[in-house]
């Protein structure tokens, strides 16, 4: 049994090295696709790949991001896997609290898809004030992310599929969030420590680049997720006295277990799903649209690439 992760990155230089090292501890292959970083992310990916064989740099190109792009990487590398392997939707700012290798050992044999339980680690107002200088940020970035950010809120009301067990007949279309009939959903959710807000410079860069993309998207009458629309990164800070905040002190410290099962269908529907996955998958898979061999990622307009590079440079001047 092998684990194959699909990782899309953009401007993650402050964390991508730690992320790749952490996830290579349990993953057999991490396929990394850069959608146009304006910082050192791709250089770090390539350097890490020279030292860590699990890391596979796929490509760097400035393209529009959408979740279906993972299907493109899946199609390219699916033949490296066998029935029973696991494929993973991985993000650079996610760190698994328990090894997925250990987690899947506790699943029933028929559970072939896994949803996540999020623990969102936040940058507090007080920490932001302490990191007001470029020197302070640089010194802190030399530390492990779990030392840098220890305050978190649980986000158990939100769940996405993260793992699915591979089968040769599986189909994943670029318009789909995950493979069709991805798997029978496990009752337990795998805990992930999520670090989207790491320091003031990273947050300013993150939201400035997203605003540039949103402005272009508005011209196309298309919208992105609402969490992209943040006019000022400071509104994402949280005071340390906030009652919702909890503290995780690092390895060895427990996180509260997620017992919510809102990601599951009603019992009768689950029975039908179990029967379908047990008896009908080959038939259902043949009825799904095949991956379009002429599919390709859509390049960003050159004007937008220039705007995003300028936005990144403007933040860099403050570093």
Which secondary structure element, helix H or strand E, spans residue 170, and what is its range?
Answer: none
CA dihedral over 105, 108, 113, 114, signed as positive or negative: negative
Count of residues for the chain?
Answer: 319
Taking every pair of Cα atoms in the chain, the longest distance, rounded to a whole number of angstroms, is: 60
When pLDDT is averaged across residues 67-85 and rounded to a whole number, the result is 96
**Range of the structural domain that residue 22 is part of:** 3-316
pLDDT on residue 314: 65
Work out the mean pLDDT of the chain and round it to a whole number.
92
Instruction: List pLDDT tens digits, range 154-198.
Output: 999 999 999 999 999 999 999 999 999 999 999 999 999 999 999
pLDDT tens-digit map of 115-137 = 999 999 999 999 999 999 999 99
Q: What is the pLDDT of residues 10-67, one digit of tens each?
A: 999 999 999 999 999 999 999 999 999 989 999 999 999 999 999 999 999 999 988 8
| Residues facing 299 on adjacent strands | 63
pLDDT band at 226; cut points 50, 70, 90? low
Q: What's residue 303's pLDDT?
A: 83
Residues linked to residue 116 through DSSP beta bridges, in sequence order: 190
Residue with tokens 């095949």: 290
First vs last Cα of the chain: how many Å apart? 44
DSSP 263-290: TSPPHHHHHHHHHHHHHTHHHHHHTSPP
> Average pLDDT, stretch 62-90?
95
Q: Tell me the C-alpha distance between 53 and 51, whole Å.
A: 6
Instruction: Please give the pLDDT value at position 227.
Output: 58
**Count of domains observed in the chain:** 1
**Does position 216 have pLDDT exceeding 80, yes or no?**
no
The pLDDT value recorded for residue 225 is 53
| Residue percentage of the chain with pLDDT more than 90 | 82
pTM (2 d.p.): 0.93
Residues 254-265 pLDDT 10s: 999 999 999 999
37 and 300 Cβ atoms separated by less than 8 Å: no
Angle at 18 between CA 125 and CA 134, to 5 degrees: 45
Measuring CA to CA, how many Å separate 115 from each of 53, 83, 213, 292?
27, 20, 29, 27
What 3-state class would DSSP assign to 87? strand
Q: Which pLDDT tens digit goes with each residue over 85-96?
A: 999 999 999 999
Contact 136, 52 (CB under 8 A): no
């Amino acid at each position: 049994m092998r684990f194959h992760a699909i990782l899309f990155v953009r401007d993650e230089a402050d964390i991508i090295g730690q992320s790749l090292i952490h996830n290579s501890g349990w993953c057999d292959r991490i396929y990394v696709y850069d959608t146009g970083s304006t910082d050192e992310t791709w250089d770090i990916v390539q350097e890490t790949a020279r030292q860590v064989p699990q890391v596979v740099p796929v490509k760097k190109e400035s393209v529009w991001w959408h979740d279906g792009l993972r299907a493109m990487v899946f199609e390219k590398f699916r033949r490296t896997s066998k029935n029973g392997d696991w494929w993973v939707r991985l993000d650079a700012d996610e760190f698994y609290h328990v090894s997925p290798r250990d987690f899947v050992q506790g699943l029933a044999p028929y559970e072939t898809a896994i949803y996540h339980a999020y623990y969102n680690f936040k940058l507090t107002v007080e920490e932001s004030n302490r990191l007001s200088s470029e020197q302070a940020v640089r010194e802190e970035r030399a530390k492990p992310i779990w030392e840098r950010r220890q305050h978190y809120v649980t986000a158990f009301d939100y769940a996405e599929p993260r793992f699915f067990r591979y089968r040769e007949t599986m189909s994943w279309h670029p318009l789909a969030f995950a493979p069709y009939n991805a798997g029978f959903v496990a009752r337990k959710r795998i805990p992930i420590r999520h670090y989207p807000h790491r320091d003031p410079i990273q947050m300013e860069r993150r939201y400035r680049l997203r605003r540039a993309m949103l402005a272009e998207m508005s011209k196309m009458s298309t919208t992105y997720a609402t969490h992209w629309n943040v006019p000022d990164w400071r509104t994402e800070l949280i005071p340390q006295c906030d009652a919702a905040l909890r503290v995780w002190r690092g390895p060895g410290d427990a996180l509260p277990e997620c017992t919510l099962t809102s990601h599951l269908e009603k019992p009768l529907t689950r029975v039908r799903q179990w029967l379908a996955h047990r008896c009908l998958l080959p038939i259902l898979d043949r009825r799904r649209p095949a991956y379009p061999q002429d599919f390709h990622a859509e390049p960003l307009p050159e004007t937008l690439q220039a705007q995003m590079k300028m936005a990144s440079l403007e933040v860099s001047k403050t570093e």
